[in-house]
A and B are shown apart, each in its own frame.
Chain A
């Protein structure tokens, strides 16, 4: 049962605050860095801006290499709701857009924009919305999105998503707890810029209109509490509450539990129980964006640890390489056994792989511990089942069970122990007497589970695509078959009509005659040309001529078959014609052989050969005429053509003539597929035979 909002407000006003289970009290070490003012760093030469500095997706780059950009100019844009833009943090030239090592424990690279600073640090045009109260809510939310603001406490959740919330909100909680040891950036920000934070809270209050605003600060920061109280004294609905110093009180769920005793449901968000929470740094950025129009281009970074001579807080432009900050804090490498820089605090941070890693929107601290300051345990010992981790867990989980299952890769069992409710605060590992890096195991298990889920959805998609492809192939096959079927029917129908009208068709034979005559004339001409040339037969030309002749022969044969076909309809006649053709062929061959033989001797013999060919032609004509009275003209002509080329072994031009006639003959629509096929086969056979004969002739001639 939720306590009523009024009850909670009354309790908070009276300074009564609950607590959460578990938690630890590590030495806070904050005095190292919280005694000096926030310093401004000189500009670095190079700025490296990762495209993705928040939870969600990266936007599309809208600048190119070589472009000049001004300070505050947006470098990416996107219509995706979970993408916030990245802005140039100083003026200069874009020198590279590509992978660069980023602030990630893996030390892997991500897409970054590298800007070479020109030192001018020139602002782009800024559009403040100081009169935001008179503007529609949507405009203000868009301005917050365009300013590139995402949560600056550590998670990097895009702020405009939270502010664009449509649920009714009871409490707007401003998180100034900063519970992790060493880190003092929020503390210093509250002390020095309380008024601007208050302005940011005003904007958020206007957008969200909650019943109460709670500014929560751990009680180990009395100066910050005082500063915020002064800044908010004219607003009675802004409650500045000091909470117990306990790690991890700054965790979202833990702080909500402390202040309101409400628990965020497992898969839910704080908004589901009427609460929204923003970090003080985020409020400061919102105020800059709305009152001054400045996008988020710098943040306060704590540089601390005993290996730097000047620990403190610095205003660092986003994209500043870590090395640049450390140089200005006077980093003493000699004080460390191995060079080591931790980004984030000692509980949740990670060791950086390179000094070139840039500061991003969520980097709040650089910890450079001296020898013996922070213990990086190498010695993992066996779990002794002491249960200290379960006492320390702020999420009331059973870290031991999770550890066993994560280590044994029993991922489903680990999930049944609510692995995903773990906030990875590191309290369990902190208290572990066996120095087991428990959080590391949980992170590995979580990553495994996430990837497994991804694999599964990929497999699902692959299966879908595979099935869709199979369905498509089957469909295409069916369509093809249907098409073939239709074409076949059409052909048959066409044949039927043709057979009916064939006897009446007179024009086609006439055409055939013309074509045949033309071919004949050309062939004759070619033969004449050949007779002029044949005195000096050359081997190469001979071969070419033979090929041409063979092709011509085949075409002539085909044409003859077609021509005769179009006129005679009965199979009987056709067979007769074929017999005639075969006889003619045989004779022609014989003649050709003889002709060739005689060709060797003299030009006289050639004339003899011609005579022989003519005789053969005549005979063939006669035979064909006898056999097929209907096709008197077409048949003998083709025979003559067939004979001539075989006698004139080197006539190239014959080919042209024949192809011309063949083209004409092709004008005939084939009456029947079957017949045509048969004809083709016959033609091929004839061609082969003719080739053989020609070869024989040639060898004889040689």
Chain B
């Protein structure tokens, strides 16, 4: 008799937990792959497509599915290391082409030469170019991610990628770069 009681009790418990778990799996369903989300957050969001994917999120998905972690030139060494850390793989040196441009750049339109063809506007992944047909275009520097995508479509070659200048706000206390000044921190007593 006690065997049956045990069976019924265990069965009831199993049923209850099963229902709870079943409900939880629907109620607290994770919408997207959290790994992709995390990878996407590490990527620099330049949307430049230099990795071969149309944007940062597709590349994050590709990494989650086992693609190489060293295809992101704008992110550079630091991003690659973080990706390696998250994916639990060995850091790899960046692609040859990824290594060459480490300096942060923004697009600059030589406005006298612009013919107003709007081709760069269509190419810009973050809508950082302002202008209208047959009107001069210009780059919103603050929004430009330096992805290079506008340079190719320009029919008159009036877009330059210029390195971002260091200002007093973005200066990193690197006296080697600007060999001026040092901090006196010790007095001979």
Chain A interface (Cβ within 8 Å of chain B)? 26-27, 29, 102, 104-108, 110, 181, 342, 346-354, 367, 369, 372-377, 426, 429-430, 435, 437-440, 443-444, 447-448, 451, 454-455, 458-463, 465-466, 468-469
A461-B126 Cα distance, complex, nearest whole Å: 9
Sample of 8 more A-B contacts, CB < 8 Å, known A351-B180, A354-B180: A106-B180, A348-B183, A353-B178, A374-B184, A447-B171, A462-B126, A466-B47, A466-B56
List 9 A–B pairs whose Cβ atoms lie within 8 Å, in order of A's numbering.
Answer: A29-B187, A102-B168, A105-B181, A342-B184, A347-B185, A349-B183, A350-B182, A376-B186, A463-B56
Contact A351 B181 (CB under 8 A): yes
Contact A376 B171 (CB under 8 A): no
Name the B residues within 8 Å of A351 (CB-CB).
Answer: 180-184
Q: Is residue B173 within 8 Å, beta carbon to beta carbon, of the partner chain?
A: yes
- Chain A minimum-CB-distance residue to B183: A350
A444-B170 Cα distance, complex, nearest whole Å: 11
Partner of A426, one of B127, B182, B185: B185
Q: How far is the CB of A477 from chain B (nearest CB, A)?
A: 13
Partner of A106, one of B44, B45, B168, B188: B168
A353-B189 Cα distance, complex, nearest whole Å: 26
Contact B186 A377 (CB under 8 A): yes
Assess A376 versus B172: contact at CB under 8 Å? Given A455-B44, A459-B45, A466-B55.
no
Q: How far is the CB of B157 from chain A (nearest CB, A)?
A: 25
Q: Is the interface of B mostly helix, strand, loop or mixed?
A: loop
Which residues of chain B in 21-77 are interfacial with respect to chain A, using CB atoms and an 8 Å cutoff?
Answer: 40, 43-47, 55-56
Partner of B184, one of A106, A346, A372: A346
Name the A residues within 8 Å of B166 (CB-CB).
Answer: 106, 108
Contact B173 A443 (CB under 8 A): yes
Contact B173 A444 (CB under 8 A): yes
Contact A107 B172 (CB under 8 A): no
Q: How far is the CB of A50 from chain B (nearest CB, A)?
A: 10
Partner of B167, one of A108, A429, A439, A448: A108
Assess A353 versus B187: contact at CB under 8 Å? Given A451-B170, A466-B126.
no
Name the A residues within 8 Å of B189 (CB-CB).
Answer: 26-27
Assess A437 versus B173: contact at CB under 8 Å? Given A108-B166, A351-B180.
no
Contact B47 A447 (CB under 8 A): no
Partner of B180, one of A353, A440, A451, A461: A353
Q: How far is the CB of A306 from chain B (nearest CB, A)?
A: 12
Q: Is residue B102 within 8 Å, beta carbon to beta carbon, of the partner chain?
A: no
Assess A110 versus B47: contact at CB under 8 Å? Given A372-B188, A426-B185, A462-B143.
no
A655-B43 Cα distance, complex, nearest whole Å: 64
Assess A447 versus B173: contact at CB under 8 Å? Given A351-B182, A459-B44.
yes
Assess A435 versus B186: contact at CB under 8 Å? Given A106-B166, A463-B45.
yes
Name the B residues within 8 Å of A435 (CB-CB).
Answer: 186
Q: How far is the CB of A331 from chain B (nearest CB, A)?
A: 17
- Chain B minimum-CB-distance residue to A437: B185
Assess A27 versus B187: contact at CB under 8 Å? Given A104-B168, A106-B181, A462-B45.
yes
A462-B43 Cα distance, complex, nearest whole Å: 11
A181-B40 Cα distance, complex, nearest whole Å: 51
Closest 5 CB pairs of A and B: A107-B180, A353-B180, A459-B45, A351-B181, A429-B185
Assess A447 versus B183: contact at CB under 8 Å? Given A462-B126, A468-B127, A469-B126.
no
A469-B45 Cα distance, complex, nearest whole Å: 14
Best-buried of B143, B170, B173, B183 by chain A (most CB within 10 Å): B183
Contact B184 A462 (CB under 8 A): no
A438-B44 Cα distance, complex, nearest whole Å: 31
Which residues of chain B in 93-107 are interfacial with respect to chain A, using CB atoms and an 8 Å cutoff?
Answer: none
Name the A residues within 8 Å of B128 (CB-CB).
Answer: 465
- Chain B minimum-CB-distance residue to A442: B173
Contact B185 A462 (CB under 8 A): no
Q: Is residue B174 within 8 Å, beta carbon to beta carbon, of the partner chain?
A: yes
Q: How far is the CB of A480 from chain B (nearest CB, A)?
A: 15
